[in-house]
Amino acid sequence: MKNIITLAIIMVFMPFIHAQHQNNTKYVVMVALDGLRWQEVFTGADQELLNDKNYVKNIEVCKNKYWDQSVEARREKLMPFIWKTIALKGQIYGNRNLGCKVNVKNPYWFSYPGFSEILCGYADKKINSNSYGPNPNMNILEFIGEKDMHKGKTAAFTSWDVFPDIINAKRSGVLVNSAFMKLDGENYGNNIQLLNKIQHELPDVFYGIRLDAVTFNLAFEFLKEKQPHLLFIALDETDDFAHHGSYDYYLNSIRYSDKMIGELWGWIQNNDMYKNKTTLILLCDHGRGIGSPDWKSHGANIPHSDETWLAFIGPDTPALGVITEGQFYNDQIAETITNFMGYEFISENPTGDPILNVFGRQLVDN
């Protein structure tokens, strides 16, 4: 009898209990910085690389911009938005010097497997090439976009032209604007029309990879005009400049990416639709090697290439700053995002568990 009464009480109060765990987040914006090492995020410019004329054209100029003896000052020079805003009001993961680790689960440690793991919540060992072709796995842009209230409200803007396959745009129906694609099919405003035009008038620095400023601003203007509910922006220059061995341009790319992301967050926090209803997530698909010449490369044969990092800021995320313990994985990102939006990610594959820290439900999710 006592059990029946207890069950009845639980049933009566279940709506109330559920309401207590409703998220304030209604929208999510994800920004990926391809191959950005956690070392630069948490400790700023690398002194060894900064002083190497093989990687920096003008060492004095670069040091004036990015060097300081203090780690705190150095990293803030490089990424002021992360360290003046997210570190104070959000959470940052991956400072291995303090005991917090973020790793990929896939065994390959490069981009297609890395982004597939992030977006699908599953490290598919069959995906072992950047030329794999259309991804057979369900991704979160597709999953969220199938919900009635989110139909037509998920989109991806990427500098790298492989994302239509990673997201399987043909199957998923997700709007994926990559590389030098024109954003058309809608009555877009003048800013988008201008970006459509100038992307073909800028130097093709990386031979088929669009410059990040165009990708970012196309995404930003799309956000303003079409109000997506889940937006994914994938920048690429950090990886490209590293592969080219240009540490100075790699640092410059980090700096202006941070600036653009800061401007995006400032707009979100001043927009009636998105303010206090949006979670911003920064992420990375893989790490890189350490020292010369390994910092330029990544892959299963380059130690530390599986080491990544994460950052969160939004209305449901307690301001814990730099997380100092725990092991986290990139395959947890997908379920975390769908949880923010009020769903459990249903996939044919075993997906990673959500990172509960970002919801304030526990201190460390091992």
Asked if the structure places residue 99 within a domain, the reply is yes
pLDDT of residue 185: 80
What does the block give as tokens for 137? 């796995």
Asked if the structure places residue 251 within a domain, the reply is yes
Q: Tell me if 141 sits within 8 A of 344, measured CB to CB.
A: no
Which residue range(s) make up the domain with 194?
Answer: 26-359
- Kindly report the length of the chain: 366
Flag whether pLDDT at 135 surpasses 70.
Answer: yes
Asked if the structure places residue 3 within a domain, the reply is no
Q: What is the pTM of this model?
A: 0.93
Asked if the structure places residue 15 within a domain, the reply is no
Read off the pLDDT of residues 95-119 as tens digits, 9 standing for 90 and up: 999 999 999 999 999 999 999 999 9
Count structural domains, the chain.
Answer: 1
Asked if the structure places residue 1 within a domain, the reply is no
Asked if the structure places residue 364 within a domain, the reply is no
Asked if the structure places residue 123 within a domain, the reply is yes
Q: Tell me if 79 sits within 8 A of 71, measured CB to CB.
A: no
Read off the pLDDT of residues 28-59 as tens digits, 9 standing for 90 and up: 999 999 999 999 999 999 999 999 999 999 99
Q: Tell me if 323 sits within 8 A of 287, measured CB to CB.
A: no
CATH of the domain at 227: 3.40.720.10
**Strand 278-283, strand 310-313: pairing:** antiparallel
Euclidean distance between CA atoms 105 and 122, whole angstroms = 8
Flag whether pLDDT at 22 surpasses 90.
Answer: no
Read off the pLDDT band of 74 (50, 70, 90).
Answer: very high
The CA-atom distances, in angstroms, between 147 and each of 1, 44, 155 are 41, 41, 14
pLDDT of residue 186: 79
Q: Tell me if 45 sits within 8 A of 251, measured CB to CB.
A: yes
Peptide bond before residue 293 is cis, with ω within 30 degrees of 0: yes
Asked if the structure places residue 94 within a domain, the reply is yes
Q: Please tell me which residue, 362 or 238, carries the higher pLDDT value.
A: 238
What does the block give as tokens for 21? 């765990």
Mean pLDDT of the chain: 93
Average pLDDT over every residue of 328-341: 98
Flag whether pLDDT at 362 surpasses 60.
Answer: no
